[in-house]
Amino acid sequence: MNGTKKSPLPKAVASIAENPLDIVSLTSAILGVIFGIATTTLFILNYKQISIYIMSLSLFHLLEYFVTAKYNAAKVNKDSFLINNGNTYIAAHTVAIAEAFLENFYFPGFKRKHFYISLIGFLLMAVGQFLRSLAMSTAGSSFSHNIAERKKDDHILVTHGIYSITRHPSYAGFYCWAIGSQLLLINPICLIAFAIILWYFFSDRIKYEEKLLIRFFGDDYIEYKTRTGTLIPFVP
């Protein structure tokens, strides 16, 4: 018997080519500055929910990159901040902020009268952020921001931890975060719009993704699917 210990597998290292230091550091700095400015406005604005919203949005994008870099270094890249998440995503946040300011200007009493709704929204955002970050860290190298069309060698079926409760915790987390954000702002129009649009988006995405997962993992995924839900309303 050979007494020599086997060397552990090399730890995945982030690619400098995919993570230009100037872009990554500048993006992080800008998000940090936005977070700081939003924090300062907490002591200036009467409508503090908008400050908390922008702080939470900045933190969300920072954590997307940080958690990917820490637990999935082989796949992290400059786009892992998810800032370039499509025109629809940018438009959604723009409209949400616009609704918040307009309603606060014309109906200030409505926003301030129902502060308990904002509190519920903030708690949902916190739970959603925790759920999403936990999902990403638990899945590790098996997590991807993009749907995997082909099964890679390091792609395993993750069923432990948070994945034993919901088979799509990152989606459930984002859904919870997004709905909570509109409750925080007390945005009735965007609340309904976000709920419907995100439901359609995740419903279609999950159907497509699970066809691939069944192809990758066969009966193991079918059995896993039967015992775990999604935690997204009306998405079995």
Question: What is the predicted pLDDT for the residue at 54?
Answer: 98
Q: Is residue 16 part of a domain?
A: no
Q: What percent of the chain has pLDDT over 70?
A: 95
Q: Is residue 101 part of a domain?
A: yes
d(CA 145, CA 148): 9
The sign of the CA dihedral 168, 170, 173, 178 is negative
Is the Cβ–Cβ distance between 16 and 75 less than 8 Å? Answer: no
Condensed to tens digits (0 to 9), the pLDDT of residues 102-112 reads: 999 999 888 88
* pLDDT-derived band at 183, boundaries 50, 70, 90: very high
Query: Of 61, 180, 191, 189, which Cα lies nearest the Cα of 122?
Result: 180
Find which of 4-8, 153-157, 187-191 is predicted with most confidence, using mean pLDDT.
187-191
Q: Is residue 10 part of a domain?
A: no
- DSSP label of 156: -
Tokens matching residue 233: 């309303």
Q: Is residue 236 part of a domain?
A: no
Three-class SS state of 96: helix
Residue whose pair of structure tokens reads 């109906």 in the numeric block: 107
Q: State which residues form the domain around 48.
A: 21-227
Question: Is 213 a residue whose pLDDT tops 80?
Answer: yes
* pLDDT-derived band at 214, boundaries 50, 70, 90: very high
Condensed to tens digits (0 to 9), the pLDDT of residues 54-90 reads: 999 999 999 999 999 999 999 999 999 999 999 999 9
- How many structural domains is the chain composed of? 1
Is the Cβ–Cβ distance between 86 and 27 less than 8 Å? Answer: no
If one compares 9 and 185, the residue with the highest pLDDT of the two is 185
Q: Is residue 85 part of a domain?
A: yes
Q: Is residue 232 part of a domain?
A: no
Q: Is residue 64 part of a domain?
A: yes
Question: What is the predicted pLDDT for the residue at 10?
Answer: 52
d(CA 99, CA 194): 13
Question: What is the predicted pLDDT for the residue at 88?
Answer: 94
Q: Is residue 1 part of a domain?
A: no
Tokens matching residue 180: 């909570």
Residue 108 belongs to domain with CATH number: 1.20.120
Is the Cβ–Cβ distance between 75 and 141 less than 8 Å? Answer: yes
Query: Of 159, 154, 149, 174, which Cα lies nearest the Cα of 231?
Result: 174
